[in-house]
Amino acid sequence: MEEPLQLSLNGDELSMVMRTPGNDVELALGLFYAEGIIKALDEVDSVRISAEAAVSEDAVRVEASIVESNSIDVRLKGEPHRRPERSMLASSACGVCGAVLIEDLRRGLSPLGPGPQLDAGALPALVERLRAGQGVFDATGGLHAAALFSSNGDLELAREDVGRHNAVDKVAGRALLNGRLPLAQSVLVVSGRAGYEIVQKAIAAGVPIVAAVGAPSSLAVALAREFGQTLVGFLRAERFNVYSAPERIR
């Protein structure tokens, strides 16, 4: 499924994103964190989804009349750290469509710490474990996935979406709700290619190692090198390429 989701901030319409319905609170919080609108969970007062009734979920009060809706409003306790300049429509194919300036997307990012080291031979197995968790892909063949792994290769969290960047936002949003950000000891594995938006979101979440099944873009490689992130591409079978910060791969 692919449907629009209207995102609002403190009652004001901010953006329209195309996504696969499900885990919409995670998607909204992960996106707002990646774009520097919020920097901590305790800055969020509530999340409203067709606000009619109130229920409690995790550390954020969620007000909802139905389980899933095509409109969500994040209410903050104070002012947002920034309001991004982006168009009112982001397609499921592009997480930064409509962004005015590349420098705007770099704002607020910090160089990554040393993070874990991985044995080169352990990387291909992560793709197999990611693939094993793609239940909807098995049924439809039409979804991307993002998954967090520990430095020991244990699967910690996986999400699917028609947009690969949405899947990353859902993973980051869940980590935020669980009090785990920054993800300084985790590995992010994504299906498909590694575009600029994947690397940017992973750096914002503090992920030191990103591995993609497909190719990285030139801009993704440049950003990973700038902020000290290990970027792996073409992770298939027993082969892969390391484009930046190779010291984390033994």
Residue whose C-alpha is closest to residue 181's, from 40, 78, 44:
40
Q: Of these residues, 16, 41, 51, 94, which one is catalytic?
A: 94
Cβ-Cβ contacts under 8 Å for 192 (sequence gap 6 or more): 144, 164, 212, 213, 214
The whole-angstrom separation of Cα 149 and Cα 230 is: 15
Alpha-carbon span 193 to 204, nearest angstrom? 19
Q: Residue 97 catalytic?
A: no
Distances (CA, A) of 6 to 41, 152, 176, 211, 237: 21, 38, 21, 30, 39
Residues annotated catalytic, as ranges: 94
